Amino acid sequence: MALPTIAGLTPSDWDIEIHDARTTPVDYDRKVGLVGITSYTADITSACEIADVYRSKGVKVVMGGVHVSALPDEARQHADAIVVGEAEAVWERLLRDCEKGELKTIYKSNTLIEMSDMVIPRRDLLNRSMYSSFYSVQATRGCPFNCEFCTVTAFFGQVFRTRPIDEVVREVKGLESKEFFFIDDNLSKISKSLNSPDGYREAIKRIHGVGINIVGSFILGLDGDSPDVFKRTYNFIMENKIDAAQFHILTPFPGH
């Protein structure tokens, strides 16, 4: 959602294209005035390579996102400007500076944004056929927990910020699909409490009961895990009919 959101924040006197370098090779000969790159830690090496090629051709590059915000000094070696934190408060200023040829090195918003009147992400700029899960919606930002492996609290804050419900409903109604994906990090409605798998069983039943699918994201390799963790995790997924599952090896990410 990062680039569709940035596109939504961009004033209409700019022409915008979104290019996904994970699906299509980059056309470095395309004439562009400014390149903005988003990247998670998993993709940062290729993101920096792309930035380097553009800059070698004299194109200005801005980088942002959770990884860049955690390690700004690394990104500064590959970009003319970097955005630390949420883009909403600084993006338009950055563009106006760019137009005047006065791009600064770092743009950082001092506060977390208000969650009302948020822009509708420009999904129309993405190639629909490239993605299996397309209609992502963000209703909240931040997380009250502070799990040691996770970037979310460090980046979006420990305060659980919620969008006004009518604005979320309006966005969902505007989608061309009846299937959409809430990308929020917690489902406070089910009173999720940390590390209580018994509570999860009941919560899963209730979520399924109202017709909502669940993506279960499982981290393996915690200190207390023994080899039976794989079988137990598999059984949990099958018994509870989790609709889609992702498996991760415990990985420390920068920034916390």
Q: Which residues bind ligand B12 (CB under 6 A)?
A: 1-2, 5-6, 36-38, 40-43, 62-67, 83, 86-88, 91, 131, 133, 136, 138, 150-152, 156, 183, 185, 248, 253
* Dihedral sign for Cα atoms in the order 96, 99, 104, 107: positive
Residue 106 CA from chain centroid, whole number: 20
Closest CB to ligand B12 among residues 102, 198: 102
| Cβ atoms within 10 Å, residue 188 | 12
Strand spans (E) along the chain: 34-38, 60-64, 81-84, 106-108, 136-137, 140-141, 161-162, 181-182, 215-220, 244-249
Q: How far is the CB of 1 from ligand B12 (least distance, A)?
A: 3
| Cβ atoms within 10 Å, residue 59 | 17
Q: How far is the CB of 198 from ligand B12 (least distance, A)?
A: 23
Ranked by CB distance to ligand B12, the top (closest) residue is: 64
Q: Which has the closest alpha carbon to 170: 201, 139, 202?
A: 139
Q: How far is the CB of 142 from ligand B12 (least distance, A)?
A: 8
Q: How far is the CB of 101 from ligand B12 (least distance, A)?
A: 18
Closest CB to ligand B12 among residues 118, 198: 118
∠ CA 211-135-22, nearest 5°, is 130
Q: How far is the CB of 4 from ligand B12 (least distance, A)?
A: 8
Q: How far is the CB of 98 from ligand B12 (least distance, A)?
A: 11
Closest CB to ligand B12 among residues 130, 202: 130
Closest CB to ligand B12 among residues 66, 139: 66
For residue 96, the one-letter residue type is R
**H runs (alpha helix) in 12-105:** 44-56, 66-70, 72-76, 91-99
